Amino acid sequence: MNPARILIVEDEAILAAHLALSLGQMGYQTAGQAATGEAAVALALKEKPDAILMDIRLRGEMTGIQAAEAIHKISDIPIIYLTAYAEESVLQQAKITEAYAILAKPVRERELRAGLEMALYKHGAESQLRRLNQVLRAVRDVNHLITHERDPQALLEEACRILVRTRDYVLAWIGKVDPVNGVVQLTAKAGDVGDALTDAMAIRNGMGPGRMAADRAIQDQKPVIVNDIRTDPAFLPWRETADKYGVVSVAAIPLPPRKELVGVLTVYSDRPGIFGAEEVQLLTELAGDLSYALEALRDESAHRRAEEALQESEAKFRNVFQNSRDPIVVSQAGLHVFENEAYLQLYGYETPGELADRPVLDLVAASHRDQMASYIRLRGAGQKAPSFYESRGLRKDGSEFDTEIQASTFELQGRVHILAIIRDITERKKNEERLRQGIRELREAFQSSIRALSSAIEMRDPYTAGHQERVTRLSVAIARELGLDDDKVEGIRIAGMVHDIGKLSIPAEILSKPTKLSPVEYSLIQSHSLSGFTILENIPFPWPIARIVLQHHERMDGSGYPNKLAGEAILIEARIIAVADVVEAMSSHRPYRPALGPQEAMKEIRRGRGTVYDPAVVDACIRVISRPGFSFN
Ligand SMILES: [Fe+2]
């Protein structure tokens, strides 16, 4: 500990010299000697002594009391008066200037020692109290600030200002650790020393005494106190800089880490040794309060941001749906939550309020309420329900209409909501019905045309009357047995009904000739396939009817007519009709021979299986005919 430095203000040189000698013997150091009040004020400012021995009577303009008052205004140095005249009025005056002691001249050594020690101790205790008071006030002010400042940056900046203002720190700054590179970044600062000091202390970049203390405080998570940069070997490189800016001591207090926030509060003083345990304790509390406040603000603003985002998305949602031309309703637990203008119009309501909290089932026709209720229940329970279905709506005036509903679910504030888009399909339903009716009529007209065509040939050839119908029946049964699809079966049905239509071009005498045909007559008969094709080829069937008819006398081995097609080149429909044709013809009576019967017909197709007839078709045909209950009629 350095010896206390005492300024002697005494206009009598011998007395002054004697005082200096006594002080030296007592272990004090003389900070200087002044003979006038003016010189005393100047020296006190320059030397900043720990105490002043002040003679009341001085040569010159100023008395010792006036000099003490002047010093007192600018600095807090304990003053001990020396006086040869213990007059009451002088003593009263001296007391006003808060003298620590008044010693009578000539001063005895014992009294001087006691007076100085008492003054130094008292002053030390007082200034410590004052200091703590200042820090307490700073803490209180910052806490008050925390209660109303909602902007984190403003909070930190004002906290630094309070510290500098209330506690006379040269500089106060708060830094946060950059989560990316781990470097302390200056966040807020205060101090009337400008940027030069900030840079000199290297708060912003690189190294420096402030930075070094701050880094170490963050790393160790405990306060780092440098009570005198001038004597601390660790801070040797910055001694000169610190001296230049009047920085003597540093305290770096870590902000208690919370979530991602890691930071530090650093304060600088122009006096050594001021960061005692109590002050550090108070600063630590302050750092804790700031850290807590920052986190609370962050949570608050995160919450606010989330809420704003929610409101914004809700507004967008409403806007999109409100302006949609499709009627849209959002419901929750079966009750209306939101419905757009188009929805209100569709159901004949005027104002949204009319439907508020009303069950959506109120707008469903009684015939479809159970269906809708079960879908709502399933969706509410998080289970699957059709997302696209038809229903019936109920208007406000009680009228009903057909609807098509597209529904989906979404979660809002933890609750399942159903969003449904409703379409009025009354017109579509009508059109569909009209179309269905049209198709029915068309099909009937078509079928009667086919029947007319079919009977035209049979009228000219009474012996084959019913032949086409029976071939058709067997062909259809074989096609089904082979597993052909319904469309192909339908094609076979039409083709079967008209497969001999080409016989219209053959003279009736030849068709019904009871005797064997001549080769010319036979070739004329054979031309009926091609004639049939010619008659049918320009009719726009959805099936290849003309080609089936053309090919119904072709054979698998290429021995048929008219084009000697073979195998797969022959349509499956033609291959089926070919087999059915032969079986029916042999089973029936002909002008030139009696009926041979189904057994003979079976024998014939078995014989030709794989050569002239498609084996799969033959097998299917045999299965069909062998099945009990089969009949051509
Ligand atoms: Fe034929």
pLDDT digits (tens, 9 = 90+) for 232-265: 887 777 777 777 777 888 888 988 877 666 788 8
Which tokens go with 448? Answer: 């009667």
How many C-beta atoms lie closer than 10 Å to residue 206's C-beta? 8
Query: Which has more confidence, 99 or 399?
Result: 399
| CA 515 to ligand 1 centroid distance, Å | 19
Segment 325-346 shows an average pLDDT of 91
**What does the pLDDT read at residue 115?**
86
- Helix, strand and coil percent figures for the chain, each rounded to 5: 55, 15, 30
CA of 373 to the centre of ligand 1 (A): 61
Q: How far away, in angstroms, is 257 Cα from ligand 1 center?
A: 99
State the distance from the centre of ligand 1 to the C-alpha of 578, rounded, in angstroms: 8
525 Cα to the center of ligand 1, angstroms: 9
User: DSSP state, 538?
Assistant: T
* C-alpha 197 to ligand 1 mean position (Å): 115
CA separation for the pair 341, 325 (Å, rounded): 8
Mean pLDDT, residues 436-445? 86
Confidence of residue 351 (pLDDT cuts 50, 70, 90): confident
Q: What integer is the mean pLDDT of 162-173?
A: 84
Radius of gyration of the chain (CA): 58
For residue 203, what pLDDT is reported?
Answer: 55
Nearest CA-CA partner of 595 in 481, 456, 466: 466
> What superfamily in CATH does domain 324-424 come from?
PAS domain (3.30.450.20)
Separation of CA 57 and ligand 1 centre (Å)? 156
Confidence of residue 211 (pLDDT cuts 50, 70, 90): low
**Could you count the other beta carbons within 10 Å of the beta carbon of residue 55?**
26
Mean pLDDT in residue range 311-319: 78
**Is the pLDDT confidence value at 548 over 90?**
yes
- Residue 88: the pLDDT is 72
CA gap 108, 112 in Å, rounded: 6
**Fold category of 149-300 in CATH:** Beta-Lactamase (3.30.450)
Q: What is the DSSP letter of 387?
A: S
CA distance 82 to 64: 9
Can you tell me the mean pLDDT for 588-609?
82
> Which one-letter amino acid corresponds to residue 571?
L
Of 368, 371, 379, 365, give the one whose Cα is nearest residue 331: 379
pLDDT, tens digit, for every residue of 103-130?
888 888 888 888 888 888 888 888 777 8
What is the reported pLDDT for 591? Answer: 67
| Ligand 1: centre distance to CA 612 (Å) | 16
> For residue 552, how far is its CA from the centre of ligand 1 (angstroms)?
7
Instruction: Compute the distance from residue 551 Cα to the ligand 1 centre, in Å.
Output: 10
CA of 629 to the centre of ligand 1 (A): 26
Query: What CATH number belongs to 5-123?
Result: 3.40.50.2300
Range list of β-strands (E), 521-562: none
Cis peptide leading into residue 562 (ω within 30°): yes
Can you give the pLDDT at residue 82?
86
Q: What angle do CA 142, 145, 150 make, to 5 degrees?
A: 130
* Ligand 1 mean position, distance from CA 600 (Å): 19
End-to-end CA distance of the chain: 133
pLDDT band at 612 (very low <50, low <70, confident <90, very high): very high
Please give the pLDDT value at position 199.
60
Q: Which among 189, 191, 218, 192 is positioned nearest to 203, based on CA atoms?
A: 189
Q: How far apart are CA 324 and CA 342, in angstroms?
A: 7
In the reported structure, the alpha carbon of residue 444 is separated from the centroid of ligand 1 by a whole-number distance in angstroms of 26
| CATH hierarchy code of domain 439-626 | 1.10.3210.10
What is the Å distance from ligand 1's center to 632 Cα?
Answer: 17
Sign of the dihedral through C-alpha 237, 239, 242, 245? negative
Ligand 1: distance of its center to the CA of 621 in Å? 18
Cα 549 to ligand 1 centroid, rounded to whole Å: 8
CATH 3.40.50.2300 location in the chain? 5-123
- Alpha carbon 14 to chain centroid, angstroms: 88
- The rounded Å distance from CA 577 to ligand 1 centre is 9
The total of other beta-carbon atoms located within 10 Å of residue 125's CB is 10
Interval between CA 410 and ligand 1 midpoint (Å) = 66
Two structure tokens written together for 115: 């007076």
How close is the Cα of 499 to the center of ligand 1, in Å?
A: 6
Residue intervals of the chain classified under CATH 3.30.450.40 are 149-300
Task: Say how many Å lie between the CA of residue 529 and the centre of ligand 1.
Answer: 7
In the sheet with 224-226, reading across from the earlier edge strand, the strands are 184-190, 171-177, 261-269, 249-258, 224-226
The two three-digit tokens of residue 40, written as one number: 């005393």
Return the axis-axis angle of helices 64-74 and 88-96, rounded to nearest 10°: 10
How far does the centroid of ligand 1 lie from the alpha carbon of residue 268, in Å?
117
* Mean pLDDT calculated for residue range 490-517: 86
Count of CB atoms situated within 10 Å of the CB of 234: 13
Cα(503) to ligand 1 centroid in Å equals 8
The per-residue pLDDT for range 3-25, each reduced to its tens digit, is 889 999 998 888 899 999 999 99
pLDDT at 6 (0 to 100): 93
pLDDT confidence of residue 197: 60
- Beta partners for 5? 29
CA–centroid distance, 500 to ligand 1, in Å, is: 5
As a whole number of angstroms, the longest Cα–Cα distance in the chain is: 179
CA distance 583 to 471: 8
C-alpha of residue 623 to centroid of ligand 1, in Å: 23
Q: How far is the CA of 561 from the centre of ligand 1 (A)?
A: 11
Contact status, residue 338 vs residue 330, Cβ threshold 8 Å: yes
Mean pLDDT, rounded, of the chain: 85
